[in-house]
Structure 1
Amino acid sequence: MPALGMAQETGKLLTWLKNPGDAVSVGDVLFEVETDKSVSEVEAQSDGFLTDVIAAAGDDVPVGQKIAMISETAAGSGSVPASKSEPDLAPEPEVVSEPPKQVPLPAKDASRPAAPTGIGGRILASPKARRLAREQGLDLARLAEAGHAQPFHAADIDTLAAMGQRADITIGSSRSFVTASCDSAAFDAVLAQMKEDAGIVLEPHALVAGFAAAALRATLEDTETRIVIALVSAADRAPFLYADPDRTRPTRPRLAEDDAKPSLFLRDMTGTRITGVSLATEDAPAITLGGGDGRDFTISLSFGATLQSAAALDMLDAFAARLEAPLEHLV
């Protein structure tokens, strides 16, 4: 068992990817092992045949202990030992008796999704699969929800990509939710470019509030309706009330009166781990913006009876589009 970390004492062998007697070459992945920090692939360090396999899937193996050999021939390759999760049971003596009565089993709940097979609720995947999923903005949890066996490999990313992107809507007793994500690179670039080229310091909160107000206004029948955005940031939990920020310059935002009723709550949680917030006391739609600082933006929209589902989807998509291509909506 190789050492995959500084403080690693054991590794849990998850699965063999080669069978005893198989020919292997340098770089071929032999098996996957889980440590307390990650799931890693272990590659062959020489050419030959896999033989003398003595560790089974599910075994916790001390670092440095022999688990198999790579030999010049396939002689004595044997077979992989049985997994600990499937112990050998001695055969029971045959008993001749009356056939048991058939007891009907309860019907399975088809609406219940298959439970992921990760350990402790974690998603098991190879480092390459995690990297590809991250680069493509894909969620490995969707494979688990669809019932695909873990751990996931690079080949599973094609299956995940074929599922397409999703906007999740959860309907509860009083509030519904829509979530989305978008690239934050262009937003950060615009702020830096305006400051460097023109010496203009754009207020990110005012800019985000303007994009949110414009997205909300597009869903209203009366586009002249006054929109008040109540913005709360991670650094300052006291709300700023912006009046029609989509119709003012982001460098000169106009604040609403202190007792103005918000048309939309906007929580800027960028730079934190928070991705969604919903409070029972809110009667207006609420957007939570997370991620940023080099990561993709995550957007969560919580809404009640004041906003129809179709309008919520259009609003969230329009808001995400403005964040992803801000320069197009500033010109």
Structure 2
Amino acid sequence: MPHDVTMPQLGMAQDAGRLTQWLKAPGDAVTKGDALFEVETDKATMEVEAQASGFLTHVTAAEGEDVPVGQVIARISDSADAAGDSPAPNDSPAQDNLPEGREVTMPQLGMAQDSGVLVGWLVELGAEVGADDLLFEVETDKATMEVPAGIAGYLAATLAQAGDAVPVGQAVAVIAANRPDNTVARGMAAAAPPPKAGKEPEPAKAAPPAASKPAAPHAPAPQPAGDRILASPKLRRVALEKGLDLARLVQAGHPQPYHMRDLEVLEGLPAEAPASQTGMAVQAIRLDAECAQDGFVPFALWAAEAQGMTDADALLAGLAGASLGGAVTVAIERFGQQRAFAVPDHRHLSAVTECDAAPDLRLRDLRATHLRTVTIGAEDVPVLTLMQAGAGLALVLECSPDQLAPDGAIALLSEFAGRMQDPLRHLL
């Protein structure tokens, strides 16, 4: 089945990317995971992987061209000589009667993500917002995150409603420079293009009358695989403050994902009998830290010029691995792409080498985004999330108690925060 190749969003404020180089030629065979092309933004140049296997066809973007996020630039087809029209341009919401202003688009939070579900708006329509103010919550198959506005002004239009699945790069809001006289609120249904003219489908044949029976209840929403609970960051925080366990909603059969409107349901559940020590639910560990200044960037420049250590990811993995202690494997993850590094049981950063081993610790680098808060929950290994916070850094550690004891988690985050603020202390 053909697969459209689109321009990815590599940063929260990015609305276009420059296609610097195609790494495959039209007609070439590609395998899912192959580097397909290079894209340049104002912060980085990255290789973008193919998300399907087949043959590269219908290339519509040239090297050096600036392409809007979400626009189709090629297709991966079943054969090299696949016939057919070029990929159609992306349908976008009707723009009539919209207030003037800058659009906020659905961000791409992972390289394989092609859409996100809008969980809810965090700002009232018509209200003033700052560039760093949280505007809405978005849910993907991996996480629920709060997205900042990225633009200062007034929320003049919302183009999606809670529960709408919005394609990456499509506008979800308009922020005006001045307070709008009229605001617009509509959902994705209003933005859907009319059906194309063509052969009318045949009407379905009437089913024979059936015996009357009670209406079947609505099927519950599909639940995530494993033990992960889908819930908005705000609900997670409030439930933790109130000492409430979201797992009780799962046990009660309440459909996921959970939002603040489900708090009343959770509070209304009957009290549980005291659980035995062995059967007691255990809360995941989450710790936050801040660095007043980012010392890693100048340290990486010094290491490259004075010591010849040019791989900044290896340096970052070395500082994180030394904070965990012992000989470990640290994975650096950035926009869905991951590199693993073997960190030896000593402080020699020059001995950190890239490897294919499963990680003991994952470091998710979100410094190139506008994200300021992240709540994903415990994963298969402890996860350190690194974000920009003004001139400094914000760090979040999430893990389960069986991965790290509370004192070990505190030591890891404290050590890593100290090394990121003053990396030279690692050399002492």
* TM-score relative to the length of structure 2: 0.32
- More strand, by proportion: 2
Please identify the structure whose Cα radius of gyration is greater: 1
- More helix, by proportion: 1
